[in-house]
Amino acid sequence: MGNRGISSEKGTAARFHLPGLFEFYELYRLFLPIFYEHREYFYEGFEIGSVYGAPADCLWGGGRTGFGGANEGEVFSLLREYGISARLTFSNSLLRPEHLHDKKCNRLLSRLSEEEKENGVIIHSDLLKDYIKNNYPGLYLVSSTTKVLRKEEELLCELSDEAFRYVVPDFRLNKSFDFFSRLDDRRRSKLELLCNECCYFGCESRRACYESVSRKALGEDGGEHICSSPFASEGYVFSRAMENPAFIGPSDIREKYLPLGITEFKIEGRSLGSAIILEFLLYYLTKPEARLKLRELIYLDSALDLF
């Protein structure tokens, strides 16, 4: 069974990169058959490009770690069945040469490179970039948003790096339409924009937050990063993310980004619960009139009590 995405009227499809390769296996096990068997429920021209994530306690993990518990064989088998690319999130920014010998991470890369579908790795470290290019050349590379590329010249440099198939800039560049329009087609096609970031738009400690996660993955001391942004104590709130100046919704994708030739869109959420991930799938992929049907197929029945 292939990834039978349906192109939009202009022949350009939006491809979504979804969170929780290992974290939300049970949700995707239910959702993916519905997505491909009931295309009438979902927006035309919106496809699933990949699912990304990492098992818990991966040394090379960086963005959000410690959540994925599903069996790798089951995970890769599910995505293989539907022809969807799998991406390992190995975005640790503090790797040193001795870390490259980690058996678990190398085994995962080896296993991923043996799959029939072309798969990728999301990375931050230049050290890891060179290591994967030399040892696992069949895997494509994605430049992680953990690099916090906030300046247009930084992003242009990253887009010019032939090692990367896709580059995820800092979310605060999402509305840089003049800059995007000046890019040539090759660089513009490498843009992968983070749609639903809830982080405070004015945050100045985003890089420090990611580095704290990287240190934790390596088992190193350094203290927990305490976010001082407004509303940080509330955690992720989707309705608040929608108010973020950088938020990208389905209508933005159709009306602003696809006409520019930007087709790749990342949904964050590996550290969240499966209920909110389902809301993302409903909002970004599912037609409003079919959202109740999808809920009924996945979990809702007439005997369900919430309290």
Mean pLDDT of all residues in 82-93? 96
- Identify residue 187 by its one-letter amino acid code: R
- Give pLDDT, residue 226: 61
pTM: 0.91
Q: What percentage of the chain has pLDDT greater than the value 90?
A: 74
Burial group, residue 305, by CB count within 10 angstroms (0-12, 13-18, 19+): exposed
What pLDDT, on a 0 to 100 scale, did the predictor assign at position 67? Answer: 63
Distance of CA 51 to the CA centre of its chain: 7
Higher pLDDT: 103 or 10? It is 103
- Give the confidence band of 234 by pLDDT, cuts at 50, 70, 90: confident
pLDDT in tens, 257-299: 999 999 999 999 988 999 999 999 999 999 999 999 999 999 9
Cβ–Cβ < 8 Å for 214, 123? no
pLDDT at 65: 57
Distances (CA, A) of 265 to 94, 134, 291: 26, 28, 21
Identity of the amino acid at 271 = S
Pair 88, 122: CB distance under 8 Å = yes
pLDDT (average), residues 157-170: 98
For 51-70, what is the mean pLDDT? Answer: 79
Sheet strand arrangement including 192-194? 164-167, 140-143, 120-123, 85-90, 46-53, 14-19, 264-266, 192-194
| Residue 45: per-residue pLDDT | 96
Report which of residues 210 and 195 the model is more confident about: 195
pLDDT at 215 over 50: yes
Of 23-32, 47-56, 211-220, 246-255, the one with minimum mean pLDDT is 211-220
Q: Is the dihedral of CA 299, 51, 14, 153 positive or negative?
A: positive
pLDDT of residue 306: 84
pLDDT beyond 90 at 136: yes
Tokens linked to 267: 């949904």
**Amino acid present at 167:** V
Residue 184 DSSP class? -
Minimum mean pLDDT among 24-28, 145-149, 167-171, 214-218: which range?
214-218
Q: Which two tokens stand for residue 82?
A: 């539907």
pLDDT of residue 145: 93
Q: What is the pLDDT of residues 98-112, one digit of tens each?
A: 999 999 999 999 999
CA 29 vs CA 5, 81, 206, 282, 286: distances in Å: 18, 11, 33, 16, 17
- Give the pLDDT confidence score for residue 70 in this predicted structure: 77
